[in-house]
Amino acid sequence: MQIQSGIGPIQRTVGWIVAPIFLWLAAQNGRAADLPGARDHPLLKRFAHSEIIGYDIKRFDRYRLQTSTYKSYSFAKKTREYARPPLVVEGTVTRVWYEAAGQTSAIELMRNYQNELKANEFETLYDSTQDSAAVKWTGYFNNLGANEIRTNRSHYVFYGARDSGIQVCSAKLARPQGDIYVQLTALQWDRDHPVYKARQGAYIQVDIVEVTPMTQNMVTVTAGDMAKAITATGRVALYGIFFDFNKAEIKPESQPALEEIAKLLKAEPGLKLHVVGHTDTVGSLESNMTLSRNRADAVVKALVRDFDINPARLLPNGVAFLAPVAANTNEEGRAKNRRVELVPRVD
């Protein structure tokens, strides 16, 4: 049976005249009901007409890549033993859940993505469809956890499906600038299930790990450095103020940077500042406008509350991703764009 889909080489066979129109229409159909703020990873296209129902990205995290089947698994104890130990890798981890409703099967989804990986010169590390000893068990979701991903379905949509339809594959692309690992987990639902918010069809979890060294973000710009930067360039960009993904609560490790901002303001009592939040391009412009403003506002409130700074001297603003200092096409550039800037006010 020939598999038909909108992913991989099949798309590239479309005639050059109609290809742009076809791909545009496929893109609109595929993204119409996506989880807000979610997006495809630039490395892999999606299966035609599928929707993103779960999304998470971590700038730096640890991931256990499956390289064999299970020998044993205890759901109660949350322990598992593999035929071969998992490969533990660290770097930027992007996790996307796709739903392909209708007559799509788990094996159809898996084969399409495997073909796409092969076309991009990935080496297969493990393929459960080629492993006669493979144990079909949903406990492989140790990499994700039910409550660690944003989703508009049940967090247990992968746990509840029938075991016989589960497919697992892991692959690696070696690159001088850092290896990339992909783990695919596909399964299917034979009917709609209101409890799990599942639709008849197939689901696939696409986990992508871009191996990169962790950026040491604890270096703090001093008050003196801030004053020099403001004098020289009219602004200073700060990377020592930290927030969790898509949140505006300041993390405790931001305290040294806040202390230096307070020192600057106390050393120069006539200085008034715009506190400007900047984001990368993950999510919509509207959501990032709100997020960047809320983060700037959180900085202002912390300076007023913890350091007794006059609130009239600080004005929070947010510009989302409209003032990038690097390309948003890779994690290194996105990290540079996530920042808080201090800009002197003239009023």
Mean pLDDT by 10 residues, the chain (347 residues): 37 36 42 83 92 91 82 56 78 93 94 95 92 61 56 83 78 90 93 90 94 61 92 92 89 92 95 96 90 97 96 96 89 86 92
Domain check: are 312 and 176 in the same one? no
- Is the residue at 2 inside a domain? no
Tell me what pLDDT residue 236 has: 94
Tell me what pLDDT residue 112 has: 96
Domain check: are 185 and 86 in the same one? yes
- Is the residue at 3 inside a domain? no
Tell me what pLDDT residue 156 has: 80
8 Å CB contact between 38 and 55: yes
Does this model's pTM top 0.75? no
When divided into structural domains, the chain yields a total of 2
- Identify the domain containing residue 265 by its residue range: 223-344
Torsion of CA 91, 176, 219, 148, to 10 degrees: -10
Contacts of 64 (CB under 8 A, 6+ apart): 86, 87, 88, 142, 143
Domain check: are 41 and 169 in the same one? yes
Tell me what pLDDT residue 73 has: 59
Angle between helices 285-307 and 255-267 (to 10 degrees): 70
